[in-house]
Chains A and B, each alone.
Chain A
């Protein structure tokens, strides 16, 4: 039996015109459901902001981690491996490799001018080549700054004046040397120097605006504070490094101490690195660790040749048996591709592995086997940190999504009330021929519309917040200061205190895929909330609905 024109496809998902029309009318004439839309908007905005900030934080961490590690690292810790120049030459011949650089990684003690001693990670680097595989140049802190820091409205950043000093420090930092005027002959000499992280010395106190003013005093060894004009390690400070050299068989020799001038300080943005790492000139560290090039001499003969005739007594030159080549613990490799892709890093690691294999074959027996050498990508090296932040992000997101479920219940409650209010209209719709599914579809469509409105506003809100997060944060901070002054109690509204988090700016990364996922989540939540009321509307008996007062 067919009562009229057939519909092309009864199960069509295209809404009926009456559903669209009523949805539109309800949207523009009802206030309560807009509250549901607002809830959806706030929840989506909240999740997007959280995800963006956490995502930005992760990107920043990865970036910083990668800044000082290169893309792939070949390492043979403590004793190091020889012929690294040859390895570097082989690596740099590869079309995928942009550059490779040697490095020594060790632990040691640093003695600071105020008598403090700290354990630090010491990295011996050759400035120019290290700069080619990392962003070393970019993280040197003391350098000329022409444009003031965005937040630095009062121009208190030291680096804004005295250009010559900063230029000189920057140059010294790049090569890890400090030029000093010899007291003996008045000539300028370059001494090998160190570049500690900005937080190693404890003399740099970070302003909330992201820069370090000079310290007006230093603590003396006796424990009291000695006022100074402005104390800065790179200007007149020296530090002492203590390291424990090993011979090539891994036996500890005697502790070696050496005092270095400070050439500059670096600021990577990662507190873990900035307060625990000291760069030192590679050559100097090789010397200290006895990893430098040395002649192996035959100690059986040689020395002083004795003769009955004192005139014939002479120092015999020691017989040089062989040469012990210089060693390093790491060779860092940078890819030509400047991508964040983990797969790219893996591919590069494979190439490097192959090259090392050839290298090991060429120096068989003299360098670590290609099967036991450690070749790690930047992902591997930062895995704990990356996974930790990822887990944290996932956890926070989970919590926030859970909180956002309230939006579902709000939509449900409001729609439930609305379906009750519209009972008679539902009866009318059924009387003029709307099917049960048509009535359900109307409410679902309305839920979707609320979701779309909510998600759109949520996105707009999130966009505004994320793009202005630093301004908002600063405003909150100022508000906190004003409130503190008013109430006399300490109210700190700087959630992201750069003294803690160490980034000058709150990082954020508005990832389109994340945004789309969250917005779809918002729509889904809204539809989910509308589902039950829609089912109730569909189940209504039309006659009873029409009798409803």
Chain B
């Protein structure tokens, strides 16, 4: 489904170049679940942002093979920003360590947020009941249907992360990208969130989960280690 080759990302700290990714190759098969392991600062989040079309790779000279992220025959590094927005809107769903829910919106509104960005006003209002029904169904599945009108501030961390997962799933993305989804949760709550990911995977969802917890990684089809800005076979 997705082939990333030779991904390079360098940050500038003052005048010094800090290479974070130095040529990452990664391919994701349809329905596959991949765990990305690596030390703190190894570039896991950076990789995820690149895969999700949120960040751009380095521009390289002609001497090196150009980085590319092929998604269903299209190179994300070459398409227009409008197409990239469209890609984020419809093809991927992000789940973050710190949930990143919008505090002003209710649970239901947070979940439908991605649908709102994907559809124009007219389309949205035409399909609103369907979108809401889908959001309710997702919230039902993650056990939060009684919290629909609550604000994020009124929820526990685990509940917030469930809402964030529902938000990521609302547009039925091809790829779910989760950046340490349990990193901010206690063991029990984290385990229940992981159970949720496992059940999603079983239902056929392709996903990449960043973590530095081995037990989390053990649940996925494949583990990828990020070391020194490259993927270490393992």
Contact = CB atoms under 8 A, between A and B. Distances in A.
A438 to B, nearest CB: 7
A432 B117 contact: yes
A25 B81 CA distance: 28
A340 interface: no
Nearest to A12: B120
B160 interface: no
Nearest to A547: B45
Give the contact-size bracket for chain B.
35 or more
Interface of B is mostly: helix
B91 A3 contact: yes
B113 interface: yes
Interface string B137-151: 000000000000000
B89 A433 contact: yes
A382 to B, nearest CB: 54
Contacts of B83: 1, 3
Contacts of B103: 425
A435 interface: yes
Contacts of B102: 22, 425, 428
Interface string A426-449: 011111111110100000000000
Contacts of B74: 1
B49 interface: yes
Given A4-B90, A434-B85, A436-B81, A17 B121 contact: yes
A14 B121 contact: yes
B82 A546 contact: no
Interface in A505-549: 541-543, 546
A487 interface: no
B61 to A, nearest CB: 23
Contact of A431 (B94, B118, B119): B94
Contacts of B218: none
A16 to B, nearest CB: 6
B82 A17 contact: no
Select the residue from B89, B94, B102 with max chain A CB neighbours within 10 A: B102
Interface in A138-191: none
Interface in B45-104: 46, 49, 52, 54-55, 74, 79, 81-83, 85-91, 94, 96, 100-104
Nearest to B121: A14
Contacts, number: 103
A424 interface: yes
A424 B100 CA distance: 8
Contacts of A431: 52, 54, 88, 94, 96, 100
A59 interface: no
Contacts of A17: 116, 119, 121, 124-125
Interface string A266-303: 00000000000000000000000000000000000000
Interface in A432-472: 432-436, 438
Contacts of B113: 18, 429, 432
A16 B117 CA distance: 7
Nearest to A433: B89
Nearest to A431: B94
A3 B90 CA distance: 7
Nearest to A6: B86
A436 B114 CA distance: 15
Contacts of A432: 88-89, 94, 113-114, 117, 167
B135 to A, nearest CB: 13
Contact of A433 (B90, B122, B124): B90
A227 interface: no
Contacts of A436: 81
A2 B73 CA distance: 12
A8 B123 CA distance: 10
A365 interface: no
B191 interface: no
A437 to B, nearest CB: 9
Contacts of B90: 3-4, 433
Contacts of A7: 120, 123
A541 B109 CA distance: 24
B105 interface: yes
Given A3-B87, A433-B114, A433-B117, A543 B104 contact: no
Nearest to A425: B102
B83 to A, nearest CB: 6
A155 B118 CA distance: 73
Contact of B117 (A425, A434, A541): A434
A520 B186 CA distance: 54
A425 B125 CA distance: 24
Select the residue from A1, A2, A432 with max chain B CB neighbours within 10 A: A432
Contacts of B101: 428
A29 interface: yes
A435 B116 CA distance: 12
A542 B109 contact: no
24 contacts: A1-B74, A2-B86, A3-B83, A3-B86, A4-B86, A4-B90, A4-B118, A5-B119, A8-B122, A16-B120, A18-B116, A20-B121, A21-B116, A22-B105, A25-B104, A427-B100, A428-B101, A429-B113, A431-B88, A432-B114, A433-B114, A434-B117, A546-B54, A546-B100
Given A14-B122, A546-B100, 9 more contacts: A5-B119, A7-B123, A16-B116, A16-B120, A18-B113, A21-B116, A25-B105, A430-B88, A433-B85
Interface of A: 1-5, 7-8, 10, 12, 14-18, 20-22, 25-26, 29, 424-425, 427-436, 438, 541-543, 546
Q: What 5 A-B pairs come out closest when comparing CB atoms?
A: A433-B89, A25-B104, A18-B116, A432-B114, A4-B90
